[in-house]
């Protein structure tokens, strides 16, 4: 990869990856601020701000923002996560300056018109309602809340209808001013890009984002526990979490390999044992989400209410067993999956731009592909087993379950036995 990086006097970083065989470019602004940067009375404001950025500026109406990019055949979008907010576009090579103009305009010059704000608040309330009607999505919100109770990192990104409706233009401007600052912002671009040209455009268009880095959010505290909700559903939706590792932990890759062996595809232990051999579910998978100061290892399954206790017994056995019996062959398979997934993703300019931005926010530098592959290759059976044992030894798990029947409490109690296994 031909990666170039420049840090502007404001602290904002521009990082690009030239892919000369492409005629398009993916670019965006990534801000190191997300839902965990919200104060208790700001629940949902990060996501609302992301929406409102597209609802009019001092130069463009909401319609003109969309048309400016779509009239040249491009697309523009945004996303809010726990620790970041991203605004990004994909356009033809000749339209990169236009994309930067629009992206800077929506962040530097939003009007937060009261009528637009009221409409968008209604839209987000509808989005919250849609999540409530999707238990396979909602269970992850409940899991996050149970793992990190009473903390911003544990609250849903969307907010609640009450909090979303409570915000006004003044509060949106205050949140933007506090959190959108040069040292916490990255402009990343990949594809048909000219680094020097983007630097020049960024220096001119994003000069107003000054000041020191935003305040650091409170340290996350993984507490665990259980949250059981009885609902009239066809299936029980169960998610379990254990405290994982932060982004910069040296054993992160070993834990990622452990996660892949356990539940990272059709050949994983959980898929084979729970679905293929026992037929206890249709979908089951494991994941690990690293944050700046902690991590969340989790797994999800949907099953019949009567099968929930047995499913959880198998899950607990598989987690505990994997920590002691993972094999060289399993390690090799997951390493191949990780490397192939990385290389396949990097064929996309969008994926490359996103990875560059995430690296800058997490590590302060772009990580070369060769360095990532070397870290994956360095994972051994011993390190993977140790990562698994450390995972189940960190304390009480969190479990969230939605659905019918009395077996949910029993399943939660079985999940708690992981602590005893580690003792």
Which residues are catalytically annotated? 50
Beta strand 295-303 with 284-290: parallel, antiparallel or unpaired?
A: antiparallel
Assign 11 to helix, strand or coil.
coil
Q: Cα separation of 155 and 133, whole Å?
A: 18
Rounded Cα–Cα distance for residues 408 and 311 (Å): 11
| 8 Å CB contact between 402 and 233 | yes
List Cβ neighbours of 256 (8 Å cut-off, separation of 6 or more): 288, 338
Give the position of tokens 């580690």. 422
Q: d(Cα 96, Cα 100) in Å, to the nearest integer? A: 6
Do residues 288 and 244 touch, judged by C-beta distance below 8 A? Answer: yes
Strands (E), 244-387: 284-290, 295-303
Distance CA 163, CA 40 (A): 10
Q: Which two tokens stand for residue 321?
A: 């067993």
Residues 6+ apart with CB under 8 A from 139: 237, 238, 239, 300, 400, 401, 402
SS3 letters for 121-166?
HHHHHHHHHHHHCCHHHHHHHHHHHHHCCCCHHHCCCCCCHHHHHH
Q: CA-CA-CA-CA torsion for 90, 96, 100, 105, nearest 10 degrees?
A: -90
Backbone angles phi, psi at 304, to 5 degrees: -70, 145
The encoded tokens of residue 348 equal 């996309």
| Rounded Cα–Cα distance for residues 57 and 106 (Å) | 6
CB half-sphere exposure, 22, CA atoms < 13 A: 22
Alpha carbons 299 and 81: distance in angstroms, whole number: 19
Q: How many other β-carbons are positioned within 10 Å of the β-carbon of residue 228? A: 17
- 95 CA to centre of own chain: 29
Pairing assessment for the beta strands 398-403 and 236-243 based on DSSP bridges: antiparallel
């Amino acid at each position: 990869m031909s990666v170039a990086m420049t840090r502007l006097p404001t602290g904002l970083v521009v990082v690009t990856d030239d892919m000369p065989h492409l005629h398009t470019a993916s670019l965006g602004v990534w801000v190191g601020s997300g839902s965990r940067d919200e104060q208790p009375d700001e629940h949902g404001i990060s996501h609302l701000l992301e929406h409102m950025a597209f609802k009019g500026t001092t130069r463009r109406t909401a319609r003109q923002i969309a048309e400016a990019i779509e009239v040249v055949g491009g697309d523009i979008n945004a996303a809010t996560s726990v620790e970041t907010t991203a605004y990004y576009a994909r356009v033809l090579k000749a339209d990169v300056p236009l994309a930067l103009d629009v992206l800077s305009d929506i962040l530097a010059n939003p009007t937060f018109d009261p009528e637009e704000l009221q409409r968008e608040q209604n839209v987000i309330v509808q989005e919250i309602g849609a999540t409530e009607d999707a238990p396979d999505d909602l269970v992850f919100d409940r899991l996050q809340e149970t793992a990190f109770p009473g903390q911003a990192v544990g609250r849903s990104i969307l907010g609640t209808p009450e909090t979303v409706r409570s915000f006004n233009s003044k509060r949106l401007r205050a949140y933007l001013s506090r959190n959108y600052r040069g040292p916490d912002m990255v402009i990343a671009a990949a594809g048909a890009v000219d680094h020097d040209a983007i630097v020049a455009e960024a220096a001119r268009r994003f000069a107003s984002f000054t000041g020191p880095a935003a305040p650091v959010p409170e340290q996350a505290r993984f507490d665990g526990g259980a949250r059981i909700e009885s609902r009239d559903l066809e299936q029980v939706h169960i998610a379990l979490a254990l405290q994982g590792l932060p982004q910069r932990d040296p054993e992160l890759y070993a834990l990622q390999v452990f996660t892949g062996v356990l539940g990272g595809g059709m050949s994983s232990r959980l898929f084979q044992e729970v679905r293929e051999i026992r037929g206890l579910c249709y979908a089951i998978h494991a994941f690990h989400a690293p944050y700046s100061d902690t991590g969340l290892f989790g797994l999800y399954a949907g099953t019949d209410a009567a099968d929930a206790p047995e499913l959880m017994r198998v899950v607990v056995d598989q987690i505990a067993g994997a920590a002691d019996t993972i094999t060289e062959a399993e390690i090799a398979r997951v390493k191949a999956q990780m490397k192939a997934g990385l290389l396949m993703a990097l064929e996309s300019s969008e994926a490359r731009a996103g990875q560059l931005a995430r690296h800058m926010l997490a590590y302060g530098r772009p990580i070369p592909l060769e360095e990532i592959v070397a870290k994956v290759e360095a994972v051994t059976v011993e390190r993977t087993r140790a990562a698994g044992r450390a995972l189940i030894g960190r304390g009480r798990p969190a479990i969230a379950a939605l659905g019918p029947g009395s077996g949910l409490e029993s399943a939660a109690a079985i999940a708690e036995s992981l602590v005893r296994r580690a003792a």
